[in-house]
């Protein structure tokens, strides 16, 4: 601040000066220091202008690159209604079927029901903080799960995230949960048996590698026991196993894992679980996540045994989602595509030809 901002001079010589005593030498020194300060400031500004246009442009470009900002265009929509794990979103004009969308709280959703003016999105998580008016962004990616031998011996959820407390998983890559079934020209006849360890099955109705088999029966008749025995019997057979628990209680899942650990089956087995406590969306995704992992091994030339326990609960979860999405209901309130839901899942199992790896 200038030392003369508060200095006032009077033109009248009749009135004596009543202010503090002024010394001319002090005023001169202060004034010279003030002027020199301004000269230094102006001189520095002139020096900065001596840069040529090329140097100035290079300096500006370096400053912009250093910031690391990037302009990304995203299609966005608005939540119109939310409830029951389903959000109705408008404005997502470019969204794909089964594409992931991002909600403001970081929760992902799955675009399942595409209409002209709105999209029905299944929320993949709690979604307690999602409300009408929130902005939803397209991601351009479909749901995929981690793959690789690092998942053997682990217990993961429907999104491939570990839930066994053994730390993160170093995956070899990712694979979409939805994938077209292998064409028949790339399949070989089923001619190699899969030993289940149960003599009645292996001798009378043997299972072949690449075959799909339904285990059906009343409650508490040993359906899961047959599946678990088949997994345990693969020890030393160079067969990877994937056990998908769909809508089971966590106590049941823990019992299955403990049994596998007791017999040393977890060394070649991955347990994928979507328990009864999880949302219907995760229960819906669980078998497709297991199938994607099994396919990755199959295309690498490995033999894989995958167990879906059980698909009845999967159908119930899909019925619940379909009703929340206001799809037309059929017999027993199941949607019309309930059979296609499981056929496109089971037909992905195959005995590949040697050109495709022979898995």
Residue 1 binned pLDDT confidence (cut-offs 50, 70, 90) = very low
Confidence at residue 251, expressed as pLDDT on a 0 to 100 scale: 93
Amino acid 248: pLDDT? 92
In the CATH scheme, what architecture does the domain 76-142 have? Beta Barrel (2.40)
Beta partners for 121?
87, 111
pLDDT in tens, 61-113: 776 666 655 545 568 889 999 888 899 999 888 888 889 999 988 889 999 99
Distance CA 229, CA 89 (A): 46
C-alpha 267/C-alpha 280 separation (Å) is 30
Are the beta carbons of 261 and 288 closer than 8 angstroms?
Answer: no
Q: Return d(Cα 52, Cα 273) in angstroms, integer.
A: 66
Average pLDDT over residues 35-59: 64
Q: In what helix (H) or strand (E) does residue 77 lie, and over which residues does it extend?
A: strand 76-83
Look at residue 330 in the predicted model and tell me its pLDDT.
Answer: 85
Other CB atoms within a 10 A radius of the CB of residue 53 amount to: 7
300-351 confidence digits (pLDDT tens): 999 999 999 989 999 999 999 999 888 888 888 888 888 899 999 999 999 9
- As a whole number, mean pLDDT of residues 206-213 equals 92
Q: Which residue is listed with tokens 């879906």?
A: 308
Domain coordinates in residue numbering, the chain: 76-142, 145-356
Residues 248, 273 contacting (CB under 8 angstroms): yes
pLDDT tens by residue, 20-31: 444 455 556 666
Q: What are phi and psi of 122, to 5 degrees?
A: -90, 125
Residue 161 pLDDT class (50, 70, 90 cuts): very high
Domains 76-142 and 145-356 alike in fold: no
User: Hey, which bits of the chain come out as E strands?
Assistant: 76-83, 86-90, 99-102, 108-114, 119-123, 135-142, 144-147, 155-156, 173-176, 193-194, 207-208, 239-246, 269-274, 303-309
pLDDT at 35 over 50: yes
Assigned CATH for 145-356: 3.40.50.300
């Amino acid at each position: 601040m200038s030392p003369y901002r508060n200095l006032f001079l009077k033109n009248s010589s009749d009135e004596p000066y009543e202010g503090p005593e002024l010394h001319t030498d002090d005023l001169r020194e202060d004034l010279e220091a003030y002027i020199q300060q301004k000269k230094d400031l102006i001189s520095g500004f002139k020096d900065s202008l001596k840069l040529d246009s090329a140097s100035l442009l290079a300096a500006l470009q370096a400053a912009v690159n250093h910031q690391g900002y990037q302009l990304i265009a995203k299609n966005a929509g608005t939540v119109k209604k939310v409830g029951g794990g389903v959000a109705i979103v408008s404005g997502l004009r470019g969204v794909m079927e089964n594409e992931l969308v991002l909600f403001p709280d970081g929760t992902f959703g799955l675009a399942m029901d595409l209409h002209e003016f709105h999209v029905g999105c299944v929320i993949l998580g709690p979604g307690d903080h999602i409300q009408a008016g929130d902005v939803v962004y397209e991601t351009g990616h479909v749901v995929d799960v981690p793959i690789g031998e690092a998942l053997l011996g682990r217990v993961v959820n429907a999104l491939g995230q570990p839930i066994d407390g053994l730390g993160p998983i170093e995956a070899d890559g990712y694979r979409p949960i939805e994938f077209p079934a292998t064409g028949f020209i790339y399949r070989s006849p089923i001619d190699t048996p899969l030993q289940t360890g149960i003599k009645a099955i292996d001798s009378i109705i043997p299972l072949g590698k690449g075959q799909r088999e339904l285990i059906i029966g009343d409650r508490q008749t040993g359906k899961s026991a047959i599946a678990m025995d088949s997994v345990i019997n693969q020890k030393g057979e160079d067969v990877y196993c994937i056990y998908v628990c769909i809508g089971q209680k966590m106590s049941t899942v823990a019992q299955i894992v403990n049994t596998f650990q007791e017999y040393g089956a977890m060394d070649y087995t991955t347990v994928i679980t979507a328990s009864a406590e999880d949302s219907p969306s995760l229960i819906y995704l669980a078998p497709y996540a297991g199938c994607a992992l099994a396919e990755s091994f199959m295309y690498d030339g490995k033999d894989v045994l995958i167990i879906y326990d059980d698909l009845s609960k999967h159908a119930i979860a899909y019925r619940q989602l379909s009703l929340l999405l206001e799809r037309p209901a059929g017999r027993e309130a199941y949607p019309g595509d309930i059979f296609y839901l499981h056929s496109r899942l089971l037909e992905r199992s195959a005995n590949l030809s040697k050109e495709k790896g022979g898995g």
